[in-house]
Amino acid sequence: MRKFYIVLLSLFFAGTCTINAQVDIEDDEDESETEVTVTNQEGKEEQIELPEAMTYELDSLLYLYNSKTYLRPDSSCDFPDINPQYTKEEIMARLKMLPTVIEMPYNDAVQKMIDRYSGHLRHSVSFMLGAQNFYMPIFEEALESYRLPLELKYLPVIESALNPRAVSRVGATGLWQFMISTAKHYGLKVNSLVDERRDPLKSSYAAAQYLSDLYKIFGDWNLVIAAYNCGPDKLNRAIHRSGGSRDYWQIYPYLPAETRGYVPAFIAANYIMNYYCDHNICPMLSTLPVKTDTVMLSRDVHFKQVAGVLGISVDQLRDLNPQYRRNVVNGNNSPMPIRLPVADISRFIDNEDSIYAYNADELLTKRDEVDVNDDDVPTVQRVRSYSSSSNKASRRSKKSGRGKDKSKKKKKKNSGSASVTVRSGDTLSEIARRQHTTVKKLKKLNGISGSTIRAGKKIKVK
């Protein structure tokens, strides 16, 4: 069992930013916009889509348990809404200084994305600078295990704004925004009860493996990042339309609109997460969350059972275990982990039987076995299967009216006899209804213990 601890480096951002208050930039962009206008090398303007996470509202992020519990605004931050303006040369120099393997070039598209982060999204950046302490150690460990460039840890910034519960308009889910097909290909479980795309640890290792596989295909990190967004097939088509170029910036016009904005957004995310101080963005202050560990369960357990016995908040359990969609750890299917504060691991083990028993009938309502009630109360008439010839005969008899007369005569004859012949499709309930008796009496008269009867056999009705 892999042990993992979420450790918050509360002093990571303890230093004071150098405040640059000399310029107050008013950004006229509408925060709800989904596109930005950029100017290409030929001087022509074009629209490129923003990654979806760059359109998220900050309020939705602040409702997350980690945000409410461990983050708070820095009330001592000076000039939090003043964004200094820098020259192209200054931005280029900073990008060049970033300690990265992946190239971080400058152009108008990159500048527009930096403006977006340092302007209308500056408060979201403040949130992500605080929230990254919950997740960056996981991302770095996963990327390092596959020997990938660590600057890829900022992909979830543009994918999900560091929200493990994020769901895109097309259904991509989690910090790394996996689609179901890709998630399952990389071993993540997705069913009605579990969605491991929301599990920060498992999804990070799956993402690292996926990025590693993409690099084996394309051999260029900008192409890998583009393929992560639009998929290898669409990227290959763009390469083909460009005449076979392997340079992202050359195949740029042939890419989907969102992918044209994706690599510039990735470069901008690396910039803003490193040079936030220069734009007067103060990280939200963080406090140290509790250390956690996992217990493997081989039975179904509802979060409310754990909360009721151990006194843990259901919200905290949800946050520590975001992969469980219905607040149920489905251990009956296969052994499944539940993550708890370290201090509660021993308490869980000592009180395991009490937890399983706590309000089990109310919280775990799926029945193992049920009895079908077919005594005394007629059931819904069963749908009978007929051959095509029988259906045709039935339709003809309805038209002529002869079928109705024959049915009445047959029913009259059967109702006066002591026994009847079981017809194809008959059930005890139907026979009981026709003979104005009960299933219980029919079983008793004929010594029937179950409910199965055979067509052509005679059974007593009186």
Can you tell me the distance from the alpha carbon of 378 to that of 223, in angstroms, rounded to the nearest whole number?
67
Q: Would residue 144 show up in a list of annotated catalytic residues for this protein?
A: no
CA distances from 243 to 199, 251, 284 (A): 40, 9, 47
| Catalytic residue, candidates 49, 151, 159, 196 | 159
Q: Tell me if 236 sits within 8 A of 261, measured CB to CB.
A: no
Q: Describe the crossing of helices 257-274 and 88-97 by its angle, rounded to 10 degrees.
A: 80
3-state helix vs strand vs coil in the chain, percent to 5: 50, 10, 40
Query: Residue 382 carries which side chain, given as an amino acid letter?
Result: R
Can you tell me the distance from the alpha carbon of 400 to that of 408, in angstroms, rounded to the nearest whole number?
15
Using alpha carbons, select from 120, 132, 117 the residue that is nearest to residue 269.
117
Q: Tell me if 258 sits within 8 A of 229, measured CB to CB.
A: yes
Residue 244 burial (C-beta neighbours within 10 Å; 0-12, 13-18, 19+):
exposed
Using alpha carbons, select from 177, 181, 185, 263 the residue that is nearest to residue 220.
263
Quick one: how far is CA 210 from the chain centroid? 17
Can you tell me the distance from the alpha carbon of 338 to that of 45, in angstroms, rounded to the nearest whole number?
52
In the numeric block, which tokens belong to residue 188? Answer: 């993540």
Using alpha carbons, select from 123, 101, 129 the residue that is nearest to residue 56.
123
Helical (H) or strand (E) element with 317: helix 314-320
Q: Give every CB contact of residue 95 below 8 A, 6+ residues apart in sequence.
A: 104, 105, 106, 110, 267, 271
In the numeric block, which tokens belong to residue 277? Answer: 């101080």
Residue 43 burial (C-beta neighbours within 10 Å; 0-12, 13-18, 19+):
exposed
Query: Residue 451 carries which side chain, given as an amino acid letter?
Result: S
Quick one: how far is CA 312 from the chain centroid? 24
Q: Tell me if 162 sits within 8 A of 128, measured CB to CB.
A: yes
Up-side HSE of residue 200: CA atoms within 13 Å toward CB? 26
For residue 36, what are the β-bridge partners? 48
Q: Tell me if 161 sits within 8 A of 53, measured CB to CB.
A: yes
> Active-site positions?
159
